[in-house]
Copies of this chain bind each other. A is one copy, B any other.
């Protein structure tokens, strides 16, 4: 068997990374899916992913996948679960280390992969290949949990944004509604936002803000909680 160059005394599973890439279009949370070009599940939509290389960590692998699909070299990514069901891949034993990524849609460029790719609203996601439905559901759960401890929302917005945009994002992620005025005051009180000075503001426009990273890391050290 010429091709099988790597031999082990005991069987080893294959290891992949899968990446749940989230974006925000201004009103809804989106997820990036790719269409499978090969069997199994050929023609079905799936999460971007691939085999882990022997010289890279799983995080590096996930970042590599991310760049292949979105052109982004950096992004917020977080490992959230490893899926190990022995039968999750019909071909052979494959375990996958799953990450979710938060990207700014406007920064994304079309992937150079041949595979067809597309952004789907969370309530329009089709049935996915392998156990990717479950992986996606778990990712949504995790991002909803994470949002209480970290301002994950900011990773999905452009550098400058209005409070209304931020609120829409939080509502999209958590699938709830907030009172506009209370949300505004809470953000003011947290002091996480810095108002952008717009010198020549002829027309009355909503204030633009930036995320105050210094204040955030200070709060995080003390152990804060974003209540919603």
Contact = CB atoms under 8 A, between A and B. Distances in A.
Interface of A: 1, 3-15, 51-52, 54-59, 79, 81-82, 84-86, 93, 95, 97, 145, 149
A27 B4 CA distance: 55
B11 A6 contact: yes
A55 B12 CA distance: 11
Given A52-B84, A95-B58, A7 B1 contact: yes
Contacts of A13: 12, 15, 52, 54
Contacts of A4: 7-9
A95 to B, nearest CB: 6
Contacts of A12: 6, 8, 12-15
Nearest to A149: B145
27 contacts: A1-B7, A4-B7, A5-B9, A6-B9, A6-B10, A6-B12, A7-B7, A8-B8, A8-B12, A8-B14, A10-B51, A11-B54, A12-B13, A13-B52, A15-B15, A52-B95, A56-B86, A57-B84, A57-B86, A58-B84, A58-B95, A79-B81, A79-B82, A82-B82, A82-B97, A95-B97, A145-B149
A7 B9 CA distance: 9
Ranked nearest first, the 6 interchain pairs of A and B with the lowest CB-CB distance are A4-B7, A12-B12, A58-B84, A7-B7, A82-B82, A6-B11
Contacts of A7: 1, 4-8
A204 to B, nearest CB: 38
Nearest to A176: B223
Contacts of A6: 7-12
Contacts of A56: 86
A55 B87 CA distance: 9
